[in-house]
Amino acid sequence: MVLRRNISFLCLLVTLTSEAISKPEYEYAVCIKEGGDYAPNSTYESNLNTVLSRLTSNTQIDYGFYNSSYGQDSDRVYATGLCRGDVTPQKCRTCLKNSSFLLLKQCPHQRRAAGGYEECMLHYSYRSVLGYYDSDFRVYLRSETSVIDWDQYSYMLNKLLSTLRVKAATTDSYLNRKYAAGNATDPSSETVHAVVQCSPDLTLAECNDCLDGAFSEIPKCCNNRSGGMVIKFSCNFRYDNSRFYEPTPDTLTLQLSSLGSPSPSPSPSPPSPTPSTTANFSETTYHGKSNRSRAVIAKYVFPTVVFVGLLIFICIYLRLRKPKKHLESEAKVDDEITQAQSSQFDFDTIRIATNNFSDANKLGQGGFGPVYKSTLFNEQEVAVKRLSSNSGQGDIEFKNEVLLMSRLQHRNLVRLLGFCFEREERILVYEFLPNKSLNNFIFDPVQRSHLDWKKRYKIIEGIARGLLYLHQDSQQRIVHRDLKLSNILLDANMNPKISDFGLARLFFVDQTQFNASKIAGT
């Protein structure tokens, strides 16, 4: 989803003094013309007030990310709120409440607006605002104080931001803040502090992309400045030469050497502080075998020449035809999932992680194929689902799941971390959920005894929230079509997560019927 060019402020610059940069009163409000205005005392205005009240009074959220919607059809209002990771829940709700007053005052009758303070951001609209989409929306906050040696200062800043980005983007759980804070110091004892944050509904790839885009704004926003902040719809970062955040045990500290004259100047985009674990696939070529046979032809046996020549031609044709078909199939899959935001794994990485798909790591067998527990190079436990050759599912279901799951992020939906398709291999990589499926608890007399009414209610409520997100609050309207006990997975805290979207279908907003070519589901 891309904002139209008629945003009233593509870039808002707020100048902060270095002495007052940590004060929360520095405000910003962006009134977005897209969607037009709503009439006074209209249904939309009533729904907007309701959704803002619900969002800012929700005491069950303790991780700084709020999402709510209210109303029907064209009068429906969507809103999200994001607070900085070190802000307490009470302070967060207060900040968002003040932001709602600010936007209603600064953007009266605007159907879409975004703004807030340095510790929080509120965004409401006539359409869903969940998920990641790049846009021209930028907010710059910067200090008036300049630094003496910007080359050394920016070198430290780039190193720090890059390290924090990796930490924030790789946060495992949807319920955790995609947030990281830290500081970097050089031999001269000069220190820079920074925080980076993504909206928790972003995938790893989306978070990295969003923050990279924000970092690239530094030359426009904050060159030679001791402090600055760039805010986008789904991510933000801030830095300063004094600490402005509450430290935690996870706060990072980097000791850096001086930039030095032999070292090259830092590039605008932050360099990676850790060894690269991503192979370079910018040019991938498939090399087929090319064995050429020379037939010894008997000059005096013409029928033999004809027969041998025809046989060789048929063999070569059949040999080349199958790989061509295979490569075309793989290219077709590639074309349709290149826009997916999940990470793509190479087959060797997954083979090593699963110990060559050892039965000792096998968790179970589904309609798609076997599922294995494995550990990636970063010690993250994952579930690997490999398409079986005798499975009733194939490329269509594989592509469907990758395309859908890469766009969906909700605490009650299983998270797709990545995928692999190489030659005949079709593999999906998910977050690992230790309690497996609800099916194991319901039909096992021993496990069933652990499901008291409180846990059952929690599971029922979680499934309902997941379905509400699919049917109403996600960017696309999605019908699962295969909801059953074995497709409800449970995490370590018995939180339910809906899985297996191979048979799911996208619906238009007003669509109520779907004509299927074959019977699907359970």
From the number of C-beta atoms within 10 Å of its C-beta (0-12, 13-18, 19+), residue 179 rates as buried
Backbone angles phi, psi at 46, to 5 degrees: -65, -45
Name, of 16-25, 177-186, 317-326, 470-479, the range with top average pLDDT: 177-186
Q: Are 393 and 134 in contact (CB under 8 A)?
A: no
Three-state DSSP at 48 gives helix
Q: For residue 372, which amino acid is it?
A: Y
Among candidate residues 139, 138, 157, the one with its CA nearest the CA of residue 147: 157
Read off the pLDDT of residues 335-393 as tens digits, 9 standing for 90 and up: 455 445 456 777 888 888 888 888 888 888 776 788 888 887 667 888 888 886 655 56
Q: For residue 519, which amino acid is it?
A: I
Three-state DSSP at 10 gives coil
Q: Are 397 and 368 in contact (CB under 8 A)?
A: yes
Banded model confidence at residue 81, pLDDT cuts 50, 70, 90: very high
At residue 22, does pLDDT exceed 60?
no
Among candidate residues 497, 365, 367, the one with its CA nearest the CA of residue 431: 497
Among candidate residues 195, 269, 204, the one with its CA nearest the CA of residue 227: 195
pLDDT at residue 259, rounded to an integer: 62
Q: Report which of residues 323 and 348 the model is more confident about.
A: 348
Question: Ramachandran region of residue 423, left (φ > 0), alpha (ψ -120 to 50) or beta?
Answer: left
pLDDT at residue 511, rounded to an integer: 59
Strand 370-375's sheet: what is its strand order?
343-344, 416-422, 425-431, 381-386, 370-375, 362-365
Instruction: Give me 104's structure tokens.
Output: 């209603």
Instruction: Give me 381's structure tokens.
Output: 């436990």
Q: Report which of residues 198 and 364 the model is more confident about.
A: 198
Active-site annotation holder among 86, 201, 209, 482: 482
From the number of C-beta atoms within 10 Å of its C-beta (0-12, 13-18, 19+), residue 61 rates as middle
Say what percent of the chain tops pLDDT 90.
27
Banded model confidence at residue 306, pLDDT cuts 50, 70, 90: low
Name, of 255-264, 326-335, 396-405, the range with top average pLDDT: 396-405
Q: Is 482 a catalytic residue?
A: yes
Average pLDDT over residues 469-493: 81
Structural domains of the chain ordered from first start: 28-130 (3.30.430.20), 140-255 (3.30.430.20), 339-431 (3.30.200.20), 436-507 (1.10.510.10)
Q: What is the largest CA-CA distance in the chain?
A: 101
CB count within 10 Å of CB 261 equals 5
Among candidate residues 48, 21, 37, 27, the one with its CA nearest the CA of residue 98: 27
